[in-house]
Amino acid sequence: MPDKKDGHIMNQKGKIKLGLKILVSILLLGWLLCSVEWPQICHCLHQIKPFALIWAVFSIIVAMIISVVKWGLLIHAQRIPASWKDLWQAYWVALFFNNFLPSSIGGDGMRIFLVGKKTGDMAGVSVSVVAERVLATLGIACIGLPALILTGTSLKNLKGLFVLLLLGSLVGVWLLIWGKVPGFLKGKQGKGAVFLSRFISHGGRLKEQPGVIGKVVLWSALFQLANVAVNYFIFQGLGLTGVSFLEAMLVVPAAAAISMVPVGINGYGIREGAYITLLAPFGVQPAAAFTASVLYAFLVSLCSLWGGMLWIGIKKKEGELPVGTESFGNQ
């Protein structure tokens, strides 16, 4: 059993890792800011169409609804008694944590904590979150690969990326639903061993319901389309009418996949660089691509403030915050 010293060392390592990620994002963003033409950024922002941004925000909400639906399918497939309200609140709080409180916990950790605490089944909720993440990666490939074939662009090297995501996610699903507890874990009474055994057992339950996995893959593809819609409306709002929806179906999933590389905070810096590179073949200037990426992050962060208000409400209900604490909407 690890002692306090071991825990302190692990905590310090986590802080160092977080600090390095923040540094990488700052350096990447700084380099990109020095590389783009500021007058062009100002021009893009000056001609922005507010109505298109309203549609982008609406698409973000649709994407969140889809996310809760697919997560709920995995939760209920394991017979975990979580309500729609619990999942809805947890997902918004997770989005808020991802955008405003970067830490070693992250949004997924908050989802596991909130719903696991509510249902008393941390292992089962953990499986649902991991499974959703793996199947979401499969959804990226399901949208990106057909778009790559249909657009016939010069970005043929993305084929390897999408094929890798496809194969990797299939292997991940197989490992998750394998369901066999290794012999060395059987009979162990430690907290870690018990949790891992329950985690594996819960994963095995998903194998009994392949229809649920198929539905989640479909919903994951729909989520990607909703995310594409968010970006497409941003492109339209910035006057980037040369990028069709089909082309956005290629660019946005590819950028999402690239920004999954865990070297920065929430994809900052990496996503902007991906937008600049991937939109260039469609005639989009670096400054406009950079603006589109930053605007996307801004709108998602703005919407996630709702999750912050929900988090304050949850803590007030639990008596961990004074009743007079201000919400984000009153600041």
Could you read off the pLDDT of 166-180 as tens digits, one per residue? 999 998 888 887 756
Listed range (16-20, 66-70, 228-232, 270-274) with the worst mean pLDDT: 16-20
How far apart are alpha carbons 231 and 296 in whole angstroms?
A: 7
Give the relative orientation of helices 50-77 and 122-151 as an angle to the nearest 10 degrees: 130
Residue 188 has pLDDT above 90, yes or no: no
Mean pLDDT of 296-312: 93
Mean pLDDT of 111-124: 92
Backbone angles phi, psi at 325, to 5 degrees: -60, 130
**More confidently predicted of 45 and 11:** 45
Could you read off the pLDDT of 216-274 as tens digits, one per residue? 999 999 999 999 999 999 999 999 988 999 999 999 999 999 988 776 666 677 888 89
- Residue 231 has which token pair? 């970006």
pLDDT at 1: 46
Question: Nearest 10 degrees: CA dihedral of 76, 70, 18, 104?
Answer: -10
pLDDT at 324: 40
**More confidently predicted of 84 and 268:** 84
How far apart are alpha carbons 232 and 245 in whole angstroms?
A: 6
Residue 129 CB neighbour total at 10 angstroms:
22
* Amino acid, res. 185: L
User: What's the chain's average pLDDT?
Assistant: 82
**More confidently predicted of 53 and 16:** 53
How far apart are alpha carbons 240 and 237 in whole angstroms?
A: 7
- In sequence order, the 6+-apart residues with CB closer than 8 A to the CB of 226 are 59, 62, 63, 66
Residue 152 has pLDDT above 60, yes or no: yes
Exposed, middle or buried, 281 (CB in 10 Å: 0-12/13-18/19+)? middle
pLDDT at 28: 63
pLDDT at 330: 37
pLDDT at 49: 92
- Number of helices (H) and strands (E) in the chain: give both, helices first: 12, 0
Residue 295 has pLDDT above 80, yes or no: yes
Mean pLDDT of 28-40: 65
Check if the beta carbon of residue 142 is closer than 8 Å to that of residue 217: yes
How far apart are alpha carbons 12 and 19 in whole angstroms?
A: 10
From residue 114, give the alpha-carbon distance in Å to each of 35, 82, 91, 310, 315. Answer: 42, 11, 10, 12, 11
pLDDT at 35: 62
Check if the beta carbon of residue 110 is closer than 8 Å to that of residue 97: yes
- Residue 117 has which token pair? 């605490």
Residue 10 has pLDDT above 70, yes or no: no
pLDDT at 17: 62
- Cut 0.75: pTM above it: yes
Mean pLDDT of 143-165: 86
How far apart are alpha carbons 14 and 8 in whole angstroms?
A: 10
